[in-house]
Amino acid sequence: MSTLLALDSLDATEALAARLANMTESGDIIGLAGELGAGKTAFARAFIGARLGIREVPSPTFTLVQVYENDNGGAPVWHFDLYRLEHGEEIFELGIEDAFDTAICLIEWPEKMAEHGPENWLELRLLPGDTEHARRAQLTPHGTRAAHLAQLLAAPDG
């Protein structure tokens, strides 16, 4: 079952990313879905900035993955951009299985994993809103941990 959240501005999208960043722990997998230009990378940048204090977050479109270590000893964040993959099994060449077990994963274009994706992950699909910078975030949990994260995000007090 999906939940839809209205995000009336880029600030609202970044605030949702920061809330999620503060809820996640090692082993959490967030799939960032949506069309080109939907705001997936902006969401990932805000998430990484809130979680790790890192401001320079390049898009991993060409490198496919960027790893951000946590200087405070917490879980690292692995940021994947699977747009350029042609076959789902190519994810294994990126070390994604290790990341699933030991890191927090942000995966742009999660549909590219096909049947090779994890069992427990939260799909966060960014959809167009009523204005240029407005979005709607559709949360679709796959698994119990993902359902818990979706429930926390959808709660009014967050």
| Stretches in the chain below the pLDDT threshold 70 | 157-158
Answer whether residue 77 is part of any domain: yes
* pLDDT the model gives residue 73: 83
At 59 the pLDDT is 75
Task: State the alpha helices, DSSP H only, in 27-66.
Answer: 40-52
Do the domain assignments include residue 35? yes
- Whether 9 maps to a domain, the answer reads yes
Report the number of distinct structural domains present in the chain.
1
Distance CA 96, CA 6 (A): 31
- Residue 61's pLDDT is what? 73
Q: CB within 8 A of 132, min separation 6: which ones?
A: none
Which candidate, 125, 146, 132, places its Cα nearest to that of 5?
A: 125
pLDDT of residue 52: 93
pLDDT given at position 158: 54
The CATH number of residue 34's host domain is 3.40.50.300
Judge whether 100 lies within some domain.
no
Determine whether 91 is exposed, middle or buried from the number of CB atoms within 10 Å of its CB (0-12, 13-18, 19+): buried
Range of the domain at 80: 1-85
Please check whether residue 111 lies inside any domain of the structure. Answer: no
CA distances from 118 to 39, 41, 97, 121 (A): 23, 21, 9, 7
In a domain, 72, yes or no: yes
The phi, psi pair for 32, rounded to 5°, reads -100, 105
> Is 139 contained in some domain?
no
In a domain, 133, yes or no: no
